[in-house]
Amino acid sequence: ATKQVRYGATSHLSLLNAQREYHLARILLVQAQALRFADTAALFQALGGGWWNRDIPSNGVSRR
C-alpha cells in the first residue's frame, strides 16, 4: 500500500485505512491469544492444578 501511495495508485487515506485495519486485526489476535491462555489456565486449575503450591515433606511422600 505504501508503494501504491508513492506512485499515485491510491490515496493516502486508503493507506491509513489499511494500516488501521492491520492494527485492529493484530489487537484482535492478541486478545484471542490472551483468552486462550486464560482458558488453558482455568482448565488446568479445574483439572486439579496448583501442585506447585502443595507442601511435600522431605521424605517425598504426600500427606494425602
And the C-alpha cell for 59? 521424605
Q: How far is CA 51 from CA 2, 12, 41, 57, 64, in A?
A: 52, 56, 13, 13, 13
Please list the alpha-helical segments (H only) found in 7-61: 12-46
Structure confidence at residue 60 (pLDDT) = 61
Q: What pLDDT, on the 0 to 100 scale, is given for residue 10?
A: 83
Question: How far is it, in rounded angstroms, from Cα 15 to Cα 23?
Answer: 12
The model carries a pTM of 0.61
pLDDT in tens, the chain (64 residues): 677 778 888 888 888 999 999 999 999 999 999 999 999 999 998 888 766 666 666 666 655 5
